[in-house]
Every structure is written in C-alpha cells, then in structure tokens.
A and B are shown apart, each in its own frame.
Chain A
Amino acid sequence: MSLIEIKNLHASVDGKAILKGVDLTIKAGEVHAIMGPNGAGKSTLSYVLAGREGYEITEGSVTFDGQDLLALEVEERAAAGLFLAFQYPVEIPGVTNATFLKEALNAIRKTRGESPLDAMQFLKLIRAKAKDLSMTDEMIKRAVNVGFSGGEKKRNEALQMAVLQPKLAILDETDSGLDIDALKIVAEGVNKLRGPERGMLVITHYQRLLDYIVPDVVHVLANGRIQKTGGKELALELEAKGYAEFGISDAAA
C-alpha cells in the first residue's frame, strides 16, 4: 500500500507557479530520492507537504496514509507521522531541546491515544537516542539549535526523527553544510530508521549523500515536475552529466 500519493500537485508562491504537476508515490519500506537543480521546486515540495504557510495549492492532491494531507494543520500532519528534517533548522532561544522534544513527543502520543511519557521515561529515551548520534547530555539541555554548528543542527534533526519515529521522513538537503564525518553520522542515524513500515524522501542537490543513504528510487525534479525516474544508478548518471538534458545548465558537480 502506498504511504504517500502525490497527484498532479501544483503550488505557487506569490502568484508564481513553482510546482507544475508533481506525481510521486512512495510505498512503505521505500527510500526515494529527489534530485534536481536549484530552483526546481525541491524545497517548495517539502514545505508544501509539511504545511508551511505562504504556499498556494492550485491543483492536485496528496493522500498520506489514507488521509487528505492537504486538509490537515501542520501539527496534525506531524501527528499523522510526517516528519520534515529542515534544511535550515530553526534556533529557539529560551526553549531547551529536552522541553521541545518532550512537548512534541507527548503531543504526538496524545493524538495516537497513547499516554504521555513522564520525565524519567522521556529522559531515558532521549539519552539512548542521543548516544546513537554521538550527542552529549549538554546538547540536550541547550536551547534548541542555539549555538549549534551546522553538523550539530543536522544531528539534532536526526535525533528528533529518532524520538518521534515518523512514518514518512522528508530530508530536505540534509547534506548541506556538512563535512564528511558529520554526514556519515547523520546518514547512519537515518539508516537506523529504515524499515518495512517507514518511507523516506531524500531531497538533495548532490549525489554524495546518496552514497550513504542508498535510495530505492531516484527522481529528477526540474521546472516543477518529475522529469525522470529510475534506480539508484540515475543519481550517478546525473552526477556525471548534470541537469543539462532537462534544459538546465546548472551542473551537479
């Protein structure tokens, strides 16, 4: 059964069409990658799916786990099991990572009809998950993303994903701003979450990330549409040839 089914999705920002008929279906257990040049609409797609304000859906539909995704509020989408790992994680001074994650997890548990975790249970969980990502207790106590390096911010995204256990994780340019060591740690964290129940959509400009998070399916997004779909070898092909054949001269190297 398909986890998410995007049909003929059109979206615009300030009257300018960005997505012009995206079709994409991900089944549980699959990892899909979307590659494409700058300005192709990659980030727009991830924001539209997460429910960010400022995007107008002009046509099409998105069915997520049997629900009309576009009819849900942002937090309802998260509770339904959708997770967006941000390209630029947001800093929130005055709110600690621990408080933030506890509020998030318990809100999601509530909508699932589960009882909230108490402080001890939560601490145990978050410590175990943080350890997997080589994150210290100190990072958990710090304000959300404040004073974090680029790599720490992305690890923090992976930690949130590990704690919230989404059905579908969308990784928006997770490799941007990461050196190779940080990239490996984050990719390892993501790979741990791969499983038959979970789908992933990895959005990236570069092939590099896909060496570590190996996709089942690769799509090329350009000019607001999926232009080509293939296996993981498509990523290597794009790396070699760039996006020229899609009418765009932006080289992918």
Chain B
Amino acid sequence: MSGELTPTHSAQGTSASFIEQVKQAQPALAPVAHPWLACFRAEGMERFAKAGLPTTRNEAWKFTNLRGLDKLSLSPAPDARSVPVDAIPTALEAAGPRLVFIGGQFRADLSRTQGLPDGVLLDALSAQMAADPQGLADRMEGLLARFPGADHPMRSLNAAFLADGALLHVPAGVKLEQPVELVFLAPAGVAAAWHPRLVVLVEDGAEATIVEHHAGQPGAAYLSNIAADVAVGTGARLHHYKIQREGTDAFHIATLNTHLADASTYDTFVLNLGARLARHEARQVLGGEKIEARVSGAYAIGGDQVSDITTLIDHAMPNCTSREVVKGVIDGKARGVFQGKIIVRPDAQKTDGYQLNRALLLSETSEINSKPELEIYADDVKCSHGATAGELDEDQMFYLRARGVPRDVARVMLIGAFLDEAMDEIIDEQVRAYFRAAAAAWMGTERA
C-alpha cells in the first residue's frame, strides 16, 4: 500500500546543478549530534538527490509544474532573531499558546507555551533537538513507522534540511481548551528556503485544535516547504486548520501524513489565498474503525497564482466516514488544481465517503483541473462524489441588482455564499469566522 500519491519519481527532470545547489546549501545548517536525526537528514538528502524535483511527467504532479522552483535560492534565511515583526496573525480573540517562526526559525520571544495542562509538550523542534534529541527522534521514528512507503521528493527535501518546526504532544485523555497556533512568517524581501517540520501526537482520548498560519509579502521568491506527521489516537479528536497567505512570489508546499486510530475524529480545513504556487498535499490513513475524517478546503486566487489541493483518504478499516468539500474561486489567469483520491480497501466495509469539488471561474482565462478518483475494493460501501465548474450565475446577479444591490456588492455576496458551503465544514466557530473574513478581505482586494 505504498506510494499511491507519488508514483516513482525520477531525477531526470531536475538539473544536476540544482541538486548540486541543494547539496551545497545543506552544510549551512547547524549540525545535529544525535545519530538518528543526523541520519534522517543524510537519508533525506540521498533520496532527494536520487528523485529530484517532481515533474509533470509524474501522474501526481501532472497539473502542477514546479518550474521556477529550481531557480530559487535554497540558502536558509539569515538569522531571524533580529527581524522586526509588527503583527502576528491570530484567529482567536483570547491570547492562547502559540509558536512563531520567522523564515523557518523559531522565535521564542514571540511565542507562548506557558499555562498548558500537565504533560502537554509544545515546543520548537530546534529547542527539542538541543534539550531532548532522543525524545524527538523517538517520536519522529514512531510516527514515520505509521506511513510505510510514503516517500515523497518534497518530504525528502524537507528531511534533508531538518532544522526547526513544531512539536505538539498531547498525552492520553488531556483536552486542550485553547487552540494552539503555529505561525510561519516570511521575512520581507528575503529570497531563501525553509523546511519546517510538524510533529503532532494526540494520544488516546485527547483533544486539540491547531491553527496554522503561513504568511508573507510579495516581492520575495522564497520557498516554504513544510512536512507534517500527525497521529490521532483511539477516541481522540484533532481539529487541524490552516490558512495560507504567502507572498505572491513565493512557493508554498506542504505535505502532510495523518494517521487516525479507532473512533478518532479528524477535522481539517485548508484555506489557500496566497503564494505564486501552493500545493497542499494531505494523506489521511484511516487505520481503525469508526473514524470520522473531515478533509475540506477552499481557495481564492487571481493573477498568475496556482493553488493545488491534493488529498488521499485511505479507508483501510470498516465502518468509517469521510467527508470532503473543496471549493475555489479563480480569477485572472490563475489555476486551481484539485486531486482527491479515495481508496476503500477490501476490509473497509460499510465505508461512507462523500466528496464534493466545485470551482467558480471569474474570468475567461482562469482554469481548474479537477481529478476526483475513487478506488473501491470493498462491496458494501456508500461513496459519492461530484465535481463542477461554473461562472457566477447571471440570473442571481440580475435578481440581486434588480433589488438595488450594486454589481460589485452582489458579486461579493455570491462569491461569499459560494465559499461558505466549504467554510461551513469548519467545526470551530472562531476559526470559521476568521477564515470567512480572510476570504472576504481577498474579495475586497480583488475588486479594487
């Protein structure tokens, strides 16, 4: 059961000089003493050098071309300790726990980790690499063992540059009342690359909410290449939300592996608004029974942006439910990509799967590539999917305007209503309101 999302990669599409550049950038990292972590880096480098960047000849990357990425500077961002920061985005009204990273580097002075329940560990990977490298290595190794064969060139690249990121470990039965925010900001005007890693363990019966923010300014061609490994234990609940507002010259690539155990709930939502090219690739392994997986997202893009949401929902066991609603608004010459694969393995009887993908094209030159894929090997399952693409409804526009609503307001109302169907999937009300406001702000700037 390996590599469904990423068939064999070959290095043929990547120039040797790019791989050479990657190899040269690596020694700039602070060295790691711990043998497992050092080996993790070295093996990542080895695998990436062999695979190279994915090209459109790979089925999984058919619609998303990483051309231009090999022209970026791959050196790490300069020391972020002195970078001034005016505002740190938050989806919450009350100040809660958070980790802040600038250019991929942890900023303890901007972060808050106090007041968490006993036994909860929330820390930067860089801090844990110094304080408890064995504990970190054990957790990472344990997580990786849950995703055999999940090799991926961008994850290999991330591994090769393992330096920082976030660790959240919620012990069994502990419920985090406040959401944890993970904030990744790009320093202005810096063309560099960073590779944050997220290590998330929510043990049996525990509950947590994570809100990831990724933001930057236009004008800098940087790469933020995130890899996440997540495990949700028996009966545990994890709400995992992400809002991506990178600068419009940036590449944002996130590759997530999530393993769900019996009777767990995973509620995840991604909102893509920024970046020149954003790929959010999420694999969910439903490795137990009676799991509820909600894997949804939305995007609103214009100009030359590309937003790619690629998901795999892998029903390995019986009696699980998965639900996926992905909607996008595409203006200008932008392009949306949705690849949603659902696998129902022979043992996964009584699976209930639902998938909906809709795109709203606001211009003649906007484009959507949608590829829903259902692979069903069990015979007693309920799976439905739908994909549509369309323009703003002229009858609805006329109706609103005939009642006095100005054209641009009517447009915003209809686009908002369109995205709301996806946003409604977000269970956390505060986060839902924040994501809606962010999409409304996007509509405001698009109109201007």
Known A79-B404, A103-B405, A107-B406; contact A95-B398, beta-carbon cutoff 8 A: no
B423 and chain A: residue at smallest CB distance: A94
Q: Which segment, of A6-14, A32-40, A70-78, A220-228, faces chain B?
A: A70-78
Bound Cα distance A108, B406 (Å): 9
Residues of chain B in range 412-428 having any CB-CB distance to chain A below 8 Å = 413-414, 416-418, 420-421
> Does B399 contact A86, Cβ atoms closer than 8 Å?
yes
> Does B404 contact A108, Cβ atoms closer than 8 Å?
yes
> Does A94 contact B406, Cβ atoms closer than 8 Å?
no
Known A90-B396, A107-B406, A107-B409; contact A95-B417, beta-carbon cutoff 8 A: yes
CB of A50 within 8 Å of the partner chain: yes
B417 to chain A: which residues have CB within 8 Å?
92-95
A111 smallest CB distance to B (angstroms): 8
CB of B86 within 8 Å of the partner chain: no
Question: Within the complex, which residue of A78, A93, A99 is in contact with B401, where a contact is CB–CB below 8 Å?
Answer: A78
> Does B404 contact A78, Cβ atoms closer than 8 Å?
yes
CB of A104 within 8 Å of the partner chain: yes
Among B394, B406, B416, B420, the one with the most A-chain Cβ atoms within 10 Å of its Cβ is B406
A78 and chain B: residue at smallest CB distance: B404
Q: Give the size range of B's interface with the partner.
A: 20 to 34
CB of B400 within 8 Å of the partner chain: yes
B409 to chain A: which residues have CB within 8 Å?
103, 107
CB 8 Å contact bits of B382-416 with A (1 = contact, 0 = none): 00000000000011101111111111011001101
B413 to chain A: which residues have CB within 8 Å?
95, 99-100, 103
Bound Cα distance A70, B396 (Å): 21
> Does B414 contact A92, Cβ atoms closer than 8 Å?
yes
> Does B398 contact A74, Cβ atoms closer than 8 Å?
yes
> Does B421 contact A160, Cβ atoms closer than 8 Å?
no
B404 to chain A: which residues have CB within 8 Å?
75, 78-79, 104-105, 107-108, 111, 164
B406 to chain A: which residues have CB within 8 Å?
75, 107
Bound Cα distance A164, B400 (Å): 13
> Does B405 contact A94, Cβ atoms closer than 8 Å?
no
Known A93-B421, A94-B420, A94-B421; contact A52-B403, beta-carbon cutoff 8 A: no
CB of A53 within 8 Å of the partner chain: yes
Secondary structure of the A side of the interface?
Answer: helix
CB 8 Å contact bits of A22-63 with B (1 = contact, 0 = none): 000000000000000000000000000011110000000000
CB of A84 within 8 Å of the partner chain: yes
A7 smallest CB distance to B (angstroms): 23
A52 to chain B: which residues have CB within 8 Å?
398, 402
Bound Cα distance A107, B410 (Å): 11
B412 and chain A: residue at smallest CB distance: A103
Bound Cα distance A108, B403 (Å): 8
> Does A74 contact B402, Cβ atoms closer than 8 Å?
yes
CB 8 Å contact bits of A80-103 with B (1 = contact, 0 = none): 000110100110111100011101
A77 to chain B: which residues have CB within 8 Å?
402
Count contacts on A: residues with CB < 8 A to the other chain: 31
Bound Cα distance A164, B403 (Å): 8
> Does A53 contact B394, Cβ atoms closer than 8 Å?
yes
A90 to chain B: which residues have CB within 8 Å?
395-396, 398-399
> Does B405 contact A104, Cβ atoms closer than 8 Å?
yes
Bound Cα distance A111, B403 (Å): 13
B407 to chain A: which residues have CB within 8 Å?
73-75
Bound Cα distance A159, B410 (Å): 20
Bound Cα distance A86, B399 (Å): 9
B403 to chain A: which residues have CB within 8 Å?
78, 100-101, 104, 160, 164
Bound Cα distance A103, B394 (Å): 18
> Does B399 contact A94, Cβ atoms closer than 8 Å?
no
Known A79-B404, A94-B416, A94-B420; contact A53-B398, beta-carbon cutoff 8 A: yes
Bound Cα distance A78, B394 (Å): 17
Bound Cα distance A164, B417 (Å): 23
A107 and chain B: residue at smallest CB distance: B404
Residues of chain B in range 141-187 having any CB-CB distance to chain A below 8 Å = none
Known A94-B416, A95-B413, A107-B406; contact A73-B401, beta-carbon cutoff 8 A: yes
> Does A84 contact B402, Cβ atoms closer than 8 Å?
yes
Bound Cα distance A75, B402 (Å): 6
> Does A92 contact B421, Cβ atoms closer than 8 Å?
no
B41 smallest CB distance to A (angstroms): 48
Bound Cα distance A92, B395 (Å): 10
B362 smallest CB distance to A (angstroms): 16
A73 to chain B: which residues have CB within 8 Å?
401, 407
Bound Cα distance A92, B420 (Å): 13
Residues of chain A in range 105-155 having any CB-CB distance to chain B below 8 Å = 105, 107-108, 111, 144
Bound Cα distance A89, B421 (Å): 22
B396 to chain A: which residues have CB within 8 Å?
90, 92
A45 smallest CB distance to B (angstroms): 15
Could you pull out 7 A-B pairs where Cβ atoms are within 8 angstroms?
A74-B398, A75-B404, A99-B413, A103-B400, A103-B409, A104-B404, A164-B403
Given A77-B402, A92-B400, A164-B404: 18 more A-B contacts, CB < 8 Å? A53-B398, A73-B401, A75-B402, A75-B407, A78-B402, A78-B404, A79-B404, A90-B399, A92-B399, A94-B416, A94-B417, A95-B413, A95-B414, A104-B400, A104-B405, A107-B406, A107-B409, A160-B403
Closest 10 CB pairs of A and B: A94-B417, A78-B404, A104-B403, A90-B399, A74-B401, A108-B404, A75-B401, A107-B404, A104-B404, A95-B417
